[in-house]
Amino acid sequence: MEWSRGGFTISTDPERLDRALIHGFLVDSYWAKAIPREVVDRSIEGSLNFGVYEGDAQVGFARVITDRATFAYLADVFVLESHRGRGLAVWLMEVIRAHPELRNLRRWILVTRDAHELYRKFGFREIEDPGRCMEIVDREVYSRLRPG
């Protein structure tokens, strides 16, 4: 699927993704620091991906891990710094929330350190009852995956 606006395109075509660019951004991000390229590739394979493009150049990305029936986890959302302030993140979220395979899901979740206001515009809020949620976090997993 594809959407166009003001010289930009959002596409779910996995063949268009610039995996080197995605990895290059994520490897330095606060949430996926030092992530190996092969892990990024596997994460893309298991997700519904949204690339943001100016012409043929990718300038943003998001992926949704979902069963397409009841649940979605929004992850790895970014717009390159050179393209921020143009409304691309808001448009990307509009497209994701309106995607036909993602409508009427019972639960959406995401984790963010600094983009709460963006996500609130689309109905996200802090967990209503955090005592019901559990997690396993392994912050050292990528360092153990690296050879040597």
Mean pLDDT of 102-116: 94
Residue 136 half-sphere exposure toward CB, CA atoms < 13 A = 3
Mean pLDDT of 51-75: 97
Token pair 């043929």 in the structure block, residue:
56
| CATH number, position 74 | 3.40.630.30
Domain encompassing residue 133 = 2-145
pLDDT of residue 28: 94
Domain count, the chain: 1
111: three-class secondary structure by DSSP: coil
pLDDT of residue 147: 60
Rounded to 5 degrees, what are φ and ψ at 117?
Answer: -65, -40
pTM, to two decimals: 0.91
pLDDT of residue 142: 87
Percent of the chain with pLDDT over 90: 88
